[in-house]
Homo-oligomer: A and B are copies of this chain.
């Protein structure tokens, strides 16, 4: 059985906070982390703890940002923040900027997000600079605090080509096998398998998001049990392994 429990009671997170300690404090009474557990953390609290935010008022938009903002009906300072996080702009249409981030992630607005920043302050929340490193750091600190080393996944909600709506995906991971590779293996009846390379970390992020109970629930951390087979003692390749290199991608 797979279970996913969203933790209540995590406080508003600020730069410099010990996020791992806040997570441990938010565990239900009597509940302790175990080695085979997985913790899925919405990237926003990670970014806020790491100070990966920008005050809108401090941003000076350049010519490209002003031009894009005018064409797309956006705030030029916000567009400048997006461009600063962007390695390549894939599309600028229909009031959406689809970007390849410096990490290689393909997503709207390079993951720059005005929601859930501190109220009234007009602050933008960026993606962590190195989400796999963030996941490793969280895991190491959780191990210090509890003795257990759960898998840690850092998640964000991404739109997709071809399908409506957003799903949560893994942008950072530690201690989790991100892809389960069945290529060349066979099913129970000896036939070659159709789905052979399973994006475990992305499916885990999506499962956790379902457990949150809605985007206004303010529950960024979800404890998932039942995936012991994918949790690894070493930190592993991280969510970077899920990024398809541009030269292998048929749809850019």
Name A residues whose Cβ lies closer than 8 Å to a Cβ of B.
1-5, 91, 93-94, 98, 106, 113-117, 119, 157, 160-169, 178-180, 182, 185-200, 202-204, 206-207, 209-211, 213-218, 226-227, 229, 241-244, 248-252
Given that A160-B160, A207-B4, A244-B164 are contacting pairs, would A191 and B115 also be in contact in the complex, using a CB cutoff of 8 Å? yes
**Chain B's nearest CB lies how many Å from the CB of A196?**
7
Could you write out 24 A-B pairs with CB less than 8 Å apart? A1-B4, A1-B211, A2-B210, A113-B194, A116-B187, A160-B160, A160-B199, A161-B250, A162-B243, A164-B199, A164-B241, A164-B244, A165-B178, A165-B197, A165-B202, A168-B195, A187-B216, A188-B216, A188-B218, A207-B207, A207-B210, A214-B229, A251-B251, A251-B252
**Chain B's nearest CB lies how many Å from the CB of A43?**
10
A203 touches B4 (CB 8 A): no
B3 touches A189 (CB 8 A): no
CA distance A174 to B157 in the complex (A): 24
Given that A5-B1, A207-B203 are contacting pairs, would A161 and B164 also be in contact in the complex, using a CB cutoff of 8 Å? no
- Chain B residue nearest to A213 in the complex (CB): B229
Given that A166-B199, A242-B165 are contacting pairs, would A191 and B98 also be in contact in the complex, using a CB cutoff of 8 Å? no
The listed residue with most B CB atoms (<10 A of its CB), out of A203, A204, A226, A251, is A203
B191 touches A164 (CB 8 A): no
CA distance A215 to B198 in the complex (A): 9
A243 touches B163 (CB 8 A): yes
- Chain B residue nearest to A186 in the complex (CB): B216
A204 touches B197 (CB 8 A): no
CA distance A241 to B94 in the complex (A): 20
A187 touches B106 (CB 8 A): no
A194 touches B116 (CB 8 A): yes
Contact of A115 among B91, B187, B252 (CB under 8 A): B187
**Chain B's nearest CB lies how many Å from the CB of A37?**
14
**Chain B's nearest CB lies how many Å from the CB of A206?**
4
A166 touches B198 (CB 8 A): yes
| Extra pairs beyond A3-B3, A116-B187, A182-B215 (13, CB < 8 Å) | A2-B211, A91-B250, A93-B250, A94-B250, A119-B190, A160-B160, A162-B252, A165-B202, A165-B242, A182-B216, A186-B216, A187-B216, A188-B218
Contact of A192 among B115, B164, B243 (CB under 8 A): B115
